[in-house]
Structure 1
């Protein structure tokens, strides 16, 4: 294949398909549905990738509101129930001279989810509206979202640490609140949103302006 003739062309324009399982390239005209190496089902692009990404992103946008506004835990101490939102929990940790843990909770529970949603939304809008954004920077941002998504569950470990720190003399019981479920939905939907997005659409958008 002439490298000069294919320079600047997308895989679709060259009739190529990439198997996401074994990484093998094959020409669409040879076998459009099955990888000739591992026999996995393949397509030039993930089916309905952008629609699935938006559906999951909108779900995460909806659930991130109760995740931050409603109590994530209820602390029962001396027969008195103390509700704690993520933000009030951070303030309590700061007041208890636990600035390090407070910073971890803030990053894992507030900064990271908002960043992931915002970054994925910008990338999806860029593809849908053909914005003139750098594909390399979008891919870098997407890679960072995928990497940081692996640490999203960190907040649950932080809650465990908080329980261990404050549970003295068996005077404290901890119960999950509405925000705990909402936060879990945000974590799961953002992970699936990143997984469902086909990064090759970024290059397609640049070549079809």
Structure 2
């Protein structure tokens, strides 16, 4: 009983909305609720963003559309002594494994396949579940949102590897490495999924926590 009461007290913490304040999503400064423009950074102030989910789904869909060709078309085009070969993301991982570079293959597979696919699933899950008034655990959703925001930038590892190889391996007729169309598609997909995650208004999850807190108190 004491543990449940202690947890309820934690959930009942005063929020900016209850205090008549609104926080700026750009610089995090808090202002009175009737302030429309942040005096510090000039950003627009809204207690809740009603168009958040529309933008989340729009960026999510565009990112998914670019991720498909990123896996179908070559990421690298290698030319050695007049011979040309190309490799997709998965093909590059398989080739690295054939050469015994299992650690590098694992890193590339994790950063280029596991993380992007996981981000698509996580963002879609957050966007779907936040529309429901019940049926999810708000604290778990907050942790999931923080993880998505944190790992988003690491999806660019594959693009960085391509850029480094293109810069280093340029020996004219002997050997050259050029980026394929998949590199551009993959980079755009990562950018769009990051924009999708940034468009998500996490304050809607806090609203659900407040509802649960009020029901627990009653």
TM-score (norm 2): 0.78
- Is the 1:63–1:183 Cα contact (8 Å) retained in structure 2? yes
Which range moves more in the overlay, 106-115 or 67-76? 67-76
| The one of 10, 20, 33 aligned to 2:25 | 20
Say which SS state the counterpart of residue 84 (structure 2) adopts.
strand
Gaps of 5+ in 1: none
The residue number in structure 1 matching 2:54 is 51
Q: CA deviation at 1:20?
A: 2.8
How many equivalent pairs are there?
203
CA 1:78 to 1:44, structure 2 compared with 1: closer, same or farther past 3 Å? same
Query: Deviation string for 1:121-159 (max 9, x for gaps)?
Result: 100111124452111111111111111112222112333
Q: Does 1:150 find its partner at 2:172?
A: no
1:107 equivalent in structure 2: 110
Q: By how many angstroms is 1:109 displaced? A: 0.7
Q: CA-atom RMSD, angstroms?
A: 3.0
- 3-state SS in 1 of match to 2:177: strand
Structure 2: gaps (5+ residues): 1-8, 213-218
Cα displacement string for residues 49-90 of structure 1 (whole angstroms, at most 9, x for unaligned residues)? 111111000111122111112211211122222121101100
